[in-house]
Amino acid sequence: MLMGTRDGRTTVDELAQSLEVPRNHLAKIVQRLQRLGLIETIRGRGGGVLLADGANSVSIGGLIRRLEADEEVVRCDAPACPLRAGCRLRGALRRAQEAFYASLDEVTIGDLLHPPTRDLLLSLTTR
C-alpha cells in the first residue's frame, strides 16, 4: 500500500524505516511480491521498488490466497487427527475461510490507496 502512494520508486531501506520493520524481513517480502508480479524491482544505483502496472486492480482476497497458498485454517492431516473421518468442523472452517476471502475479493489494492488511508500512508514517509 505504501508503494502505491509513492511517485516513482522507493528503496527497501526507506520502506523498512517508514514501516518500522527489519530490513531483512522486508527484503523477503519484496522478493515474494516481485515473484507474484505485484511489484517491480530495479537493481543498482538509482534502483528501488515500485508497484507493478496493474497491481492496483488486484483483489485483496486473491492476494491473500496467493500468499497463504490456500492453507486451511486447521491442518487435519499432519499429524492425522483421529476425528478426521467424522468431523464437521473442517468443512465449516473451510466455508468460513472462503467467505472471508470472498468478502476481500471486493477490495482491490487501489481501493486501499484512497483517503483517509492514503493520508495515513503519506504521513509514514515524514517520520
Q: Of all residues in the chain, what percent carry a pLDDT higher than 70? A: 97
Per-residue pLDDT of 73-105, as tens digits, reads 888 887 888 888 888 998 899 899 999 999 999
Q: What cell numbers appear for 106 in the block?
A: 471486493
What residues form DSSP beta bridges with 77?
80
pLDDT band at 125 (very low <50, low <70, confident <90, very high): low
- What pLDDT score was predicted for residue 40? 93
| 19 CB-contact burial (10 Å; exposed 0-12 / middle 13-18 / buried 19+) | middle
Highest mean pLDDT among 53-62, 63-72, 75-84: 53-62
Q: Which domains can be identified in the chain, with CATH numbers?
A: 2-124 (1.10.10.10)
For the chain, give the mean pLDDT.
88
Residue 115, pLDDT > 70, answer yes
